[in-house]
Amino acid sequence: MKQLFVKMRGVEQPLHGQWKEGHDQVEVNGLDYSIDTFPFDLPTAGTVFGTLLNYKKEYERLAPKMNEAPYNAPPKAPILYVKPINTLLAHQLPIPLPTGYEEVTVGATIGLVIGRRATRLSKEEALSYVKGYTLVNDVSLPHESVHRPAVKEKARDGFCPIGPWIVAHDESMNPNDWTITVRINGEVKQTIRTNELIRNVETLLEEVTDFMTLSEGDVLLIGVEGDLPVARANDLVTIDCPAIGTLENRVMEEKVIKEVYV
Amino acid sequence: MRRARVIYKGAVVEAYEHERGLRLADGRIVTEDEVEWLPPVQPQTIFTLGLNYADHAAELSFEAPKEPLVFLKGPNTLVGHKGETRRPNDVTFMHYECELAVVIGKSGKQIKAERAYDYVAGYTVVNDYALRDYLENYYRPNLRVKNRDACTPIGPWFVPKHHVEDPMNLTLRTYINGDVKQEGSTRDMVFSIPELIEHLSSFMTLNEGDLILTGTPKGSVDTKVGDVVVTEVEGIGALENTIVGDESFHRS
């Protein structure tokens, strides 16, 4: 049984939940709900930091160019970026496809939710600062170059679905041995194994908190794997990790979403 | 009226300029040395502009960009007036960047430059330090350079926009230990404040409280442990910061 932190739409306080891997029911504050119909809100509230080039396949793809301009050398320290608040989106809400664009890339990843202010952690203690894990879709407009910050590609409204909940960390969990599956309209498009990380979760936390503090509630994304799946208007994107749950959002044209809400 | 956020006697309070120092929101009058200065605003998204002054771009051997070079930083970077910023021992070039910061006053998307100031709440001063030794060519300037704890002093004041006649014509100056090292004017920005607001809001929503750091002119020189660095923007404020070494943090 997984212990959950659940945020329900319209309820300010976070709720306590329980869920058994694979089940389609979730218990929230003692009551059973269908996962399909529960109104999940964004489960996190802090700053979301993404990590670039932290999977072997993603790294190897760029490796032949790393000694050429504009990169000139392989990366040394973790390369991070911010997913600002306008990007954050709850489970089941539509991802806006900006007008004039045909497709987005799906960056399925795990968010480490920080439990207490973390500065200069050692690998050994790192996981004790993690409150839990959530699923994140680090959506982007397709782009090849990673030379300059990809704000225009990665910081669009609704480009960072998070959820459906936070699974509380406990000592039996090993986030370096999980599988993430991406399906588009039900068809498997990508399988990611976290044992393919270049810096595993503990090492990433150690190296990141050496130069910057992660605060309670902040979310550190462990990275996205190369060959990102692509989604177009009306595609249903499902990100599944048996240890955490399922995050699902449909891509919809921005102008259609406007009509839905107005 | 220029206003600040300070800690006085263990509590966070709003404070205003006063002839004898500061007037706290509860009426108490205190001197500037009696308080700890906090960042005057608590932003959500912090936008930063690289190479937004042509003379600074040339100084770093770059051409001024054709489109704003934008990156984002987190709230861990902010530290108040009279704060300290760490210079690691292995760094050979750490320079200040005196910048005018724009505080967004209301949310908007696809804002036209002509209406941009309607979305501005006011201004403050930042010093956006860069530790050039840590630069890497991936999402450059990478966060190890620009997102370090306390690497972005901010303050001392938040200045509401109606106190600033023309934000695009303000003198910027940086002093190290009292000597002027950098001098420029906001009129030399490559992309003006209205253009930056139009650009950013063309592809994402700007939110109330967001902060735009508008870039720095030329004159970035190295700083050493013990240096007192003052970044000043005419009419907005003079922001003081002291560089401290690894020893203060018990790092070898």
Distance from CA of B137 to the nearest CA of A (A): 5
Q: Using one digit for the tens of pLDDT, what is the confidence trace for A80-131?
A: 999 999 999 999 999 999 999 999 999 999 999 999 999 999 999 999 999 9
Tell me the sheet residues that pair with A163.
Answer: A135
- Phi then psi for B77, rounded to 5 degrees? -80, -20
Determine how many CB atoms are found less than 10 A away from the CB of residue B23: 18
- Residue A260, pLDDT > 70, answer no
CATH of domain B39-249: 3.90.850.10
| HSE-up of residue B6 (Cα within 13 Å, Cβ side) | 28
Cα gap A102→A131, rounded to integer Å? 37
Contact B242/A at CB under 8 A: no
Contact B110/A at CB under 8 A: no
Q: Using one digit for the tens of pLDDT, what is the confidence trace for A61-81?
A: 999 999 999 999 999 999 999
Q: What is the pLDDT of residue B149?
A: 97
> Whats the size of chain B, residue-wise?
252
Tell me the sheet residues that pair with B152.
Answer: B78
Give the closest residue to A180 by CA, choosing from A192, A170, A164, A169: A192
Which residues in chain B (118-147) have CB-CB distances under 8 A to chain A? Answer: 134, 136-144, 147
pTM for the structure as a whole: 0.96
Q: Using one digit for the tens of pLDDT, what is the confidence trace for A197-228?
A: 999 999 999 999 999 999 999 999 999 998 89
Residue of A nearest to B209 (CA): A85
**Averaged pLDDT score across all residues of chain A:** 96
Would you state the CATH architecture of domain A42-261? Alpha-Beta Complex (3.90)
Cross-chain Cβ contact B75/A215 below 8 Å? yes
Complex ipTM value: 0.95
Which residues in chain A (181-220) have CB-CB distances under 8 A to chain B? Answer: 211-215, 218
Cα gap B47→A72, rounded to integer Å? 27
Percent of chain B at pLDDT > 70 equals 100
Distance from CA of A96 to the nearest CA of B (A): 11
How big is the A-B interface in CB pairs under 8 Å?
104
- DSSP code at position A228: -
**Burial class (CB within 10 angstroms; exposed 0-12, middle 13-18, buried 19+) of A198:** middle
What residue spans define the domains of chain A?
42-261
**SS3 of A8, please?**
strand
What residue spans define the domains of chain B?
1-38, 39-249
- Residue B166, pLDDT > 70, answer yes
List CB contacts (< 8 A) between B212 and chain A.
Answer: none
Fold of the domain spanning B1-38: SH3 type barrels. (2.30.30)
Which residues in chain B (90-109) have CB-CB distances under 8 A to chain A? Answer: 109
Dihedral Cα A99, B199, B76, B148, nearest 10 deg: 110
Q: What is the mean pLDDT of residues B102-111?
A: 97
Distance from CA of A99 to the nearest CA of B (A): 10
Contact B73/A at CB under 8 A: yes
